């Protein structure tokens, strides 16, 4: 090309072309093979950052590759648009969350567009669109009616000054982020999704993701679900304590170490335990004890888990079920009310926490396992001692025998506990999807009628950080009961934003024109699901993925989808670093993608992020490498002027080429094969960097030979390979010389790949004088030329009578002696 490389010009042009011609829209032809390539959608904070750029360049490359190879490709984009930052912005800048959010989305859309990402714009949506909320509310009602959503009291962070519930991140050192008031724990009714009903399935189906998801993520999912088998039993209160507590006669506990049961020296319960509540209401406890308990209750969960082990004795006792010993009951801050049954049999000799606690409060310690060392606590397995009829048993066998004994004597039973808790989805906030229930004094909690969905948010609200804006609104919550038509009140809680990101990938499967009629249309979702490659940050390895997996299964059981597992393959990209630290606003080390695009163009930005490191690895920002990427693109551009315009791939007879030409062709076809390996076989986790390196080598090898045909063929192929990575320049050059004919699958010329070198002996009058390594079937004239120079010292003054070539083996010169 005779004009110089001007990325800003050509990039805008092609972005427009792709948009105008719907190049990136999937087809509704369900007979074609499909690929659903998805990157995690962004929160519309207002501007994209390098992490987004990396994420979307990866998915875009994969999507473009498959599109080029005649797959029907769905590569959608949307915005995870509800949530707290919009409300914080409203408080700070006096704007409306809706206005703030949609204007951020507009801005981010433009930025994404400037990267040339091949998203299907026809499937784009924001989760705060009321057409999306409409279906989320439908799902809520379906789950509510099925009993998969229920209400339960929970302790929430509460600021007594602002009269508002605070998210964990709004509690700073135990104080309100806004007014610095000491945060307390307030008991409130909340909506919960019974994800625990699916605990076992969520665990079991992780097996099907083996080798398709990073093993690290599978382990995190597994640990989060946290299955443990153990013994559940109750300590009876002794007669004196029974008199004091009255309505409660026993304390249930869960243990995974039944083998240590003879070592129990006290029973510990959570500060929220029903017995504690009963005692707080009686006049049995002393003032200082009451104060300490209330302090424990009021400590936010996060602080509590990090603080020192603490507790108070309750002054009541229980009876050991096997030894009939009398054991004291303590309230302890490390016992959780929402795990097991909120009570623990404490064995200080064999458990870290129990040991620390017992030492602090001078509680006896009793060893019941034989160990070599005398250090306590001894938390490993061991042979039982001081354990009555169970002495001498070891580990699992001891546990089995003891559990068997409990079951036989109806003292307790073997159970499975999951660490996974039900999912609390109530938020006392404005900018979220309203929970579509109505509270009627006569009928109780009633679901809103389907024809009245969506329940939309009121627009005229005051958002000042005090109270719940929906609750404070003068009229919004007043409504009629769907059952008895009487006056009723709307639920003012909104849903956790994790609910929206739990089914957005299903929504994308259906074209926009169906979105009013269905959440997602059956045939479309059947065709497109499951997601073939899901790409996003490791920070979502636990909650988002777990909730999305759960939602898919729950919607399957409600008849909405056939999918069991939403994401067949998962790629977690590494972080973007600068000077060794994560690139982030708070560290002040961000590089603005827009500035890079402006200066070098989107193709350079794309090439840099895909070349600097394989997707799974961390990417260290490097200005020199960015310059290097730009230089490569410019070279590609400048040298394109040697291309011969053609509508099809030039036909070249490989064997007729000279060595340099062969070498160039070989490099080009190697890059083509590499491209297939990288994309289809996901070699080294889509190691695009190695593919790009191959292309660079190929361009160099092309430059070293002189055939315009080889050159043209090489470009024909290289542009095809590089299109997923640097699409704008590839389309531009391709349009000019190849009329875009090279933008589909290209067959590999096997002859060009003959990689095995042969070693040819060079002899003079039958005596070996040297050797040469070459490609097989090298052009004879060139071969002789090369050999002569190697053995020149024997030939210089000689007369060659005969040259004998035994292909790929020997070159013999017969000289006159
Ligand atoms: C006695 C014991 C002795 C325990 C010992 C451990 C070691 P995982 O494995 O995570 O399921 N536990 C039970 N309920 C609890 C609660 N609500 N809050 C805090 N801790 C609780 O943990 C099970 C173990 O955690 C149980 O086994 C119990 O302590 C404690 F040498 O019982 B163990
Ligand atoms: Zn009613």
The per-residue DSSP string of 394-411 comes to BHHHHHHHHHHHHHHTTS
Q: Which two tokens stand for residue 329?
A: 């009951």
Q: Which of 344, 346, 347, 381 to mutate to test the pocket of ligand 1 (most atoms within 8 A of CB)?
A: 344
Query: What span, in angstroms and rounded, lies between the C-alpha atoms of 721 and 555?
Result: 40
Q: Which ligand is nearest to the Cα of residue 486, counting in written order?
A: 2
**Pair 251, 343: CB distance under 8 Å:** yes
508: closest CA among 495, 489, 521, 491? 521
Greatest extent of the chain over all pairs of C-alpha atoms, in Å? 124
473 Cα: distance to centroid of ligand 2 (angstroms): 22
Based on the number of CB atoms within 10 Å of its own CB, is 509 exposed (0-12), middle (13-18) or buried (19 or more)? buried
Query: What span, in angstroms and rounded, lies between the C-alpha atoms of 804 and 215?
Result: 60
**CA 623 and chain centroid, separation:** 28
Residue the block writes with tokens 């097996």? 207
13 Cα: distance to centroid of ligand 2 (angstroms): 60
Q: Which two tokens stand for residue 564?
A: 């069991």
Mean pLDDT of the chain: 94
Q: Which of 255, 258, 403, 415 to mutate to test the pocket of ligand 1 (most atoms within 8 A of CB)?
A: 255
Query: What span, in angstroms and rounded, lies between the C-alpha atoms of 267 and 332?
Result: 10
Binding residues: 585
191 Cα: distance to centroid of ligand 2 (angstroms): 20
**CA 273 and chain centroid, separation:** 36
The minimum-distance atom of ligand 1 relative to the CA of 346 is: 1
Dihedral (Cα; 441, 446, 451, 455), 10-degree rounding: 80
What topology does CATH give the domain 758-815? Answer: Ubiquitin-like (UB roll) (3.10.20)
| pLDDT score at 231 | 97
6 Cα: distance to centroid of ligand 1 (angstroms): 66
638 Cα: distance to centroid of ligand 2 (angstroms): 76
The minimum-distance atom of ligand 1 relative to the CA of 339 is: 17
Region of poorest pLDDT, from 222-236, 247-261, 742-756: 742-756
| pLDDT score at 2 | 55
Q: Which of 203, 224, 257, 357 to mutate to test the pocket of ligand 1 (most atoms within 8 A of CB)?
A: 257
The CATH number corresponding to 230-415 among 3.40.190.10, 3.30.360.10, 3.40.50.720, 3.90.740.10 equals 3.90.740.10
**Pair 199, 185: CB distance under 8 Å:** no
CA nearest ligand 1 atom 26, residue: 255
141 Cα: distance to centroid of ligand 2 (angstroms): 17
Reported as a pLDDT band with limits 50, 70 and 90, residue 300 is: confident
The minimum-distance atom of ligand 1 relative to the CA of 350 is: 31
Q: Which two tokens stand for residue 278?
A: 């009963």
443 Cα: distance to centroid of ligand 2 (angstroms): 4
Query: What is the average pLDDT across 194-216?
Result: 97
| pLDDT score at 302 | 77
Query: What span, in angstroms and rounded, lies between the C-alpha atoms of 351 and 284?
Result: 31
The pLDDT of residue 817 is above 80: no
CA nearest ligand 1 atom 29, residue: 255
Q: Which ligand is nearest to the Cα of residue 438, counting in written order?
A: 2
| pLDDT score at 358 | 97
Q: Would you say the C-alpha torsion 85, 89, 90, 95 has a positive or negative sign?
A: negative
- Summarize pLDDT for 663-692 with one digit per residue, the tens: 999 999 999 999 999 999 998 899 999 999
Dihedral (Cα; 755, 759, 762, 766), 10-degree rounding: -130
518 Cα: distance to centroid of ligand 1 (angstroms): 46
Packing angle, helices 708-722 and 688-703, rounded to 10:
160
Which CATH number describes the domain made up of 639-753? 1.10.730.10
**Pair 157, 200: CB distance under 8 Å:** no
Query: What span, in angstroms and rounded, lies between the C-alpha atoms of 577 and 310?
Result: 40
Q: Which ligand is nearest to the Cα of residue 380, counting in written order?
A: 1
Backbone angles phi, psi at 364, to 5 degrees: -55, 150
Reported as a pLDDT band with limits 50, 70 and 90, residue 755 is: low
The minimum-distance atom of ligand 1 relative to the CA of 377 is: 31
The pLDDT of residue 1 is above 60: no
The pLDDT of residue 465 is above 90: no
Q: Which of 340, 349, 369 to mutate to test the pocket of ligand 1 (most atoms within 8 A of CB)?
A: 340
Instruction: State in words which class domain 7-138+498-587 has.
Output: alpha beta
656: closest CA among 540, 738, 778, 530? 778
- Summarize pLDDT for 351-400 with one digit per residue, the tens: 999 999 999 999 999 999 999 888 999 999 999 999 999 999 999 999 99
Binding residues for ATP: 585
CA nearest ligand 1 atom 12, residue: 344
- Summarize pLDDT for 85-97 with one digit per residue, the tens: 999 888 888 899 9
The pLDDT of residue 473 is above 80: yes
Return the SS3 of 254: strand
Residue the block writes with tokens 């189906």? 205
| pLDDT score at 15 | 98
| pLDDT score at 773 | 82
Q: Which ligand is nearest to the Cα of residue 488, counting in written order?
A: 2
446 Cα: distance to centroid of ligand 2 (angstroms): 7
Q: Which ligand is nearest to the Cα of residue 437, counting in written order?
A: 2
Domains 639-753 and 758-815 fall in the same CATH topology: no
More confident residue, 630 or 308: 630
Enumerate residues with CB within 5 Å of ligand 2 (an ion). Answer: 440, 442-443, 481, 483-484, 486
**Pair 331, 268: CB distance under 8 Å:** yes
Q: Which of 199, 234, 351, 371 to mutate to test the pocket of ligand 1 (most atoms within 8 A of CB)?
A: 351
Q: Which two tokens stand for residue 380?
A: 């490993």
DSSP string, 745-778: -----HHHH----EEEEEEETTEEEEEEEE-TT-
Q: What sections of 362-477 are H helices per DSSP?
A: 395-408, 469-472
**Pair 209, 570: CB distance under 8 Å:** yes
Per-domain residue ranges of the chain? 7-138+498-587, 230-415, 639-753, 758-815
Q: What b/e sequence results for 377-394 when a residue is b if at least 16 CB atoms lie within 10 Å of its CB, and e otherwise?
A: bbbeebbbeebeebeebe
The minimum-distance atom of ligand 1 relative to the CA of 334 is: 19
The minimum-distance atom of ligand 1 relative to the CA of 337 is: 17
- Report percent pLDDT > 90 for the chain: 84
Using a 6 Å CB cutoff, which residues line ligand 1? 228, 254-257, 260, 334-336, 339-340, 342, 344-345, 347, 350-351, 417, 419
Query: What span, in angstroms and rounded, lies between the C-alpha atoms of 572 and 556?
Result: 26
The minimum-distance atom of ligand 1 relative to the CA of 417 is: 11
| pLDDT score at 3 | 80
Q: Which ligand is nearest to the Cα of residue 381, counting in written order?
A: 1
**Pair 612, 594: CB distance under 8 Å:** no
129 Cα: distance to centroid of ligand 2 (angstroms): 29
352 Cα: distance to centroid of ligand 1 (angstroms): 11
Reduce the secondary structure of 260-287 to three states and give it as a string. Answer: HHHHCCEEEECCCCHHHHHHHHCCCCCH
Q: What sections of 704-779 are H helices per DSSP?
A: 708-722, 727-738, 750-753
Q: Which ligand is nearest to the Cα of residue 443, counting in written order?
A: 2
439 Cα: distance to centroid of ligand 2 (angstroms): 8
């Amino acid at each position: 090309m005779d004009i110089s490389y001007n990325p800003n010009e050509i990039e805008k042009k092609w972005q427009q072309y792709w948009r105008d011609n719907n190049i990136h829209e999937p087809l509704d032809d369900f007979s074609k093979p499909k690929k659903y390539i998805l990157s995690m959608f962004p929160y519309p904070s207002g501007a994209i950052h390098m992490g987004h750029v990396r994420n979307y360049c990866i998915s875009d490359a994969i999507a473009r590759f498959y599109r080029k190879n005649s797959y029907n490709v769905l590569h959608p984009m949307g915005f995870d648009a509800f949530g707290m930052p919009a409300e914080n912005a409203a408080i700070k800048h006096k704007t409306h969350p809706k206005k703030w959010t949609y204007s951020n989305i507009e801005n981010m859309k433009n930025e994404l567009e400037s990267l040339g990402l091949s998203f299907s714009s026809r499937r784009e949506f924001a989760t705060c669109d009321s057409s999306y909320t409409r279906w989320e509310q439908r799902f809520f009602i379906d789950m509510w009616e099925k009993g998969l959503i229920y209400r339960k009291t929970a302790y929430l962070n509460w600021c007594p000054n602002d009269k508002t519930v605070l998210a964990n991140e709004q509690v700073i050192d135990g104080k309100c982020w806004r007014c610095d008031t000491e945060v307390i724990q307030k008991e409130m009714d909340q909506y919960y999704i019974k994800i625990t009903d699916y605990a076992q399935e969520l665990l079991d189906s992780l097996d099907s993701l083996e080798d398709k998801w990073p093993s690290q993520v599978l382990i995190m999912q597994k640990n989060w679900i946290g299955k443990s088998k153990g013994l559940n039993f109750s300590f009876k209160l002794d007669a004196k304590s029974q008199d004091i507590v009255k309505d409660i006669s026993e304390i249930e506990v869960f243990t995974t170490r039944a083998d240590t049961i003879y070592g129990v020296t006290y029973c510990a319960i959570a500060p929220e335990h029903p017995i504690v509540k009963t005692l707080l209401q009686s006049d049995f406890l002393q003032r200082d004890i009451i104060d300490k308990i209330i302090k424990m209750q009021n400590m936010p969960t996060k602080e509590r888990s990090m603080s020192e082990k603490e507790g108070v004795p309750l002054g009541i006792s229980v009876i050991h079920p096997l030894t009939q010993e009398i054991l004291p009951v303590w309230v302890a801050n490390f016992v959780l009310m929402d795990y097991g049954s909120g009570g623990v049999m404490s064995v200080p000799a064999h458990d870290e926490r129990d040991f620390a606690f017992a030492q602090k409060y001078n509680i006896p310690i009793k060893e019941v396992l034989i160990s070599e060392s005398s250090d306590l606590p001894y938390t490993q397995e061991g042979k039982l001692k001081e354990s009555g009829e169970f002495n001498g048993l070891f580990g699992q066998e001891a546990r089995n025998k003891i559990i068997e004994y409990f079951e036989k004597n109806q003292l307790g039973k073997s159970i499975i506990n999951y660490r996974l808790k039900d999912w609390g989805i109530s938020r006392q906030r404005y900018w979220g999807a309203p929970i579509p229930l109505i509270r009627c004094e006569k009928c109780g909690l009633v679901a809103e009628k389907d024809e009245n969905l969506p329940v939309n948010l009121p627009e005229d609200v005051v958002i000042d950080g005090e109270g719940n804006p929906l609750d404070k609104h003068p009229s919004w919550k007043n409504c009629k009961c769907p059952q008895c038509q009487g006056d009723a009140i709307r639920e003012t809680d909104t849903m956790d934003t994790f609910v929206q990101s739990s089914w957005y990938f299903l929504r994308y499967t259906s074209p926009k024109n169906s979105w009013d009629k269905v959440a997602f249309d059956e045939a479309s979702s059947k065709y497109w699901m499951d997601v073939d490659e899901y790409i996003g940050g490791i920070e979502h390895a636990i909650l988002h993925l777990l909730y999305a997996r759960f939602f898919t299964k729950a919607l399957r059981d409600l008849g909405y989808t056939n999918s069991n597992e939403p994401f067949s393959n998962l790629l977690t990209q590494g972080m973007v670093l600068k000077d060794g630290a994560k690139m982030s606003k708070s560290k002040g080390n961000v590089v603005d993608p827009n500035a890079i695009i402006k200066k070098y163009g989107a193709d350079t930005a794309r090439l840099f992020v895909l070349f600097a490191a394989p997707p799974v690895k961390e990417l260290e920002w490097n200005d020199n490498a960015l310059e290097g990427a730009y230089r490569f693109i410019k070279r590609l551009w400048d040298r394109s002027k040697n291309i011969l315009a053609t509508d099809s791939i030039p036909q070249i007879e490989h064997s007729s080429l000279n060595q340099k030409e062969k070498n160039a062709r070989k490099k080009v076809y190697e890059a083509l094969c590499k491209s297939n390996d990288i994309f289809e076989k996901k070699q080294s986790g889509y190691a695009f960097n190695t593919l790009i390196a191959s292309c660079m080598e190929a361009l160099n090898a092309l430059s070293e030979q002189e055939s315009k045909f080889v050159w043209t063929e090489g470009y024909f192929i290289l542009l095809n390979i590089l299109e997923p990575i640097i699409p704008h320049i590839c389309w531009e050059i391709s349009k000019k010389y190849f009329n875009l004919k090279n933008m589909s699958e290209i067959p590999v010329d096997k002859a060009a790949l003959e990689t095995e070198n042969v070693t040819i002996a060079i002899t003079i009058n039958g005596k070996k004088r040297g050797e040469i390594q070459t490609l097989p079937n090298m052009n004879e004239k060139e071969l002789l030329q090369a050999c002569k120079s190697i053995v020149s010292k024997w030939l210089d003054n000689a007369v060659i009578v005969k040259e004998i070539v035994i292909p790929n083996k020997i070159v013999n010169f017969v000289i006159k002696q």
